[in-house]
Chains A and B, each alone.
Chain A
Amino acid sequence: GQNIDQPTEMTATEGAIVQINCTYQTSGFNGLFWYQQHAGEAPTFLSYNVLDGLEEKGRFSSFLSRSKGYSYLLLKELQMKDSASYLCAVRPHGNYGGATNKLIFGTGTLLAVQP
């Protein structure tokens, strides 16, 4: 089967750093994505990892270890507007015609940033 695990909820303080973990077991691997979703809004793309290591983009960084089936999203200098759900998604190998763009999602981690 295919499975993505991430914590359901996390709480952090404004100005602090928070790390959201994601572990996955999928039939193949062709990239891992993090999306941010504010309540009542569309998920928006945050980061993409396909090779092991850290990808940094401003206050947000994402790490991948393919051998461990593990990723994390690191948010620095937290702001109140960072309160949202963070979705981890894996693109496994496709079943038809080579690589596809199908994604398998975790349940999302609801992050609450407190003053």
Chain B
Amino acid sequence: ETGVTQTPRHLVMGMTNKKSLKCEQHLGHNAMYWYKQSAKKPLELMFVYSLEERVENNSVPSRFSPECPNSSHLFLHLHTLQPEDSALYLCASSRKSPNRVPRNEQFFGPGTRLTVL
């Protein structure tokens, strides 16, 4: 049990659908992350939220829209996706900064396996 949960675990959607991915962390962290994991590619950081404020957006297409209503919850809203967006979407959390806790590893959820038809 990592303390980070994601729902749904699997999602199949058409290109015209709108869906949302949900992430919840129970670790008392104040930074949350969305990653995309495609086969044979590095984990790609999509968004970073720190203290509920988006602090990084790595040139992600606007068809992905994140939302962080509080420090425990993170959403990724999806609309008009493309087949190349099919991937494993991972959520992670950590403390905001490693300054006080040098190791400060990120804790990952199990991911949502997304298939876009």
Contact = CB atoms under 8 A, between A and B. Distances in A.
Contacts of B2: 42, 44
Contact of A43 (B56, B90, B97, B98): B90
A50 B99 CA distance: 13
Contact of B98 (A8, A44, A89, A91): A91
B103 A101 contact: no
Interface residues of A, number: 30
The binding surface of chain A is classed by DSSP as: loop
A41 B110 contact: yes
The binding surface of chain B is classed by DSSP as: loop
Residue among B55, B105, B108, B111 with max Cβ neighbours from chain A (10 Å): B105
A87 B97 CA distance: 21
B36 to A, nearest CB: 11
B82 interface: no
Interface stretch (B12-20, B41-49, B60-68, B70-78): B41-49
Nearest to A107: B42
Interface string A8-20: 1000000000000
29 contacts: A30-B98, A31-B98, A31-B102, A31-B103, A35-B108, A40-B110, A41-B110, A42-B90, A42-B109, A43-B43, A43-B90, A44-B108, A87-B43, A91-B98, A96-B55, A97-B97, A99-B98, A100-B55, A101-B31, A101-B94, A101-B97, A101-B98, A101-B106, A102-B48, A102-B56, A103-B45, A103-B106, A104-B42, A105-B42
